[in-house]
Amino acid sequence: MAEDLTELESNRKYEDLPDYRPWSLAAVRLLQDVVYSSDTAVWGEILASQNRLRDYFARIGLTLVVDESNSFAYLRQLDLEQELVPSEYAELPKLYRRTRLGYGASLVCVLLREELRRFESEDVDSDICVVEEEFLFDQWKAFFPVRTDEQAQYREFSKALNSARDAGFAKLLSKDPPAWEVRRIIKAKLDAATLERLRADLLAHVEKGEDQGAE
């Protein structure tokens, strides 16, 4: 008898669920990560249900950004200072917080962004921008004083590159030799103005290091 009541209660709970929506899977995937057009089913549903998804996410303080020209979509936190939103939204806890990258990781991101810009202006035969890890390391270490322990420096570089990967800016494509895809979301996170600011900060950091080394 008790088991029958438990089963009835369970069925009643399922009956109380709202109707499943075709865009439900797309909503979950967007909450998990950036969605690219290569995920054809989810990408198609995002394009077909943009208004419904925007309304759904706006209620929890998120903005849906769909970049059709670069074939990706992602979520960002509502900017209460830049966007005209009701004051009640300020009470919502933030689901996404900005992660401050260190000098090494910021340098990797700038180099990746530069590679993507070069790729888009020069390479017309490929759909993705790929950079070899060794090439990236050679560029990266040029911003540091010459060191005798290159293995230790490579470990620092690997840590910085993994930070860029965790931020969604790079994806490992092969291990032998190591090569990385530069993900197009980096264009949205590092626009031209941000790129120039980061580049200036990095150059100032290098110049400061050279001045200290000369003393």
DSSP codes, 32-85? HS-EETTSHHHHHHHHHTHHHHHHHHHTTTEEEEEETTTTEEEEEE--TTTS--
Backbone φ and ψ of 23, nearest 5°: -90, 5
Render pLDDT for 145-171 as a digit per residue (tens, 0 to 9): 887 788 999 999 999 999 999 999 999
Provide, rounded to the nearest whole percent, the portion of the chain with pLDDT above 90. 50
Torsion sign over Cα 180, 181, 183, 187: positive
Render pLDDT for 110-123 as a digit per residue (tens, 0 to 9): 999 999 989 988 86
Render pLDDT for 59-75 as a digit per residue (tens, 0 to 9): 998 999 999 999 999 99
195 or 153, which is more confident: 153
166 or 5, which is more confident: 166
Domain spanning 103-214: which CATH class is it, in words? mainly alpha
Query: Where in the chain are all domains bearing CATH 1.10.10?
Result: 103-214
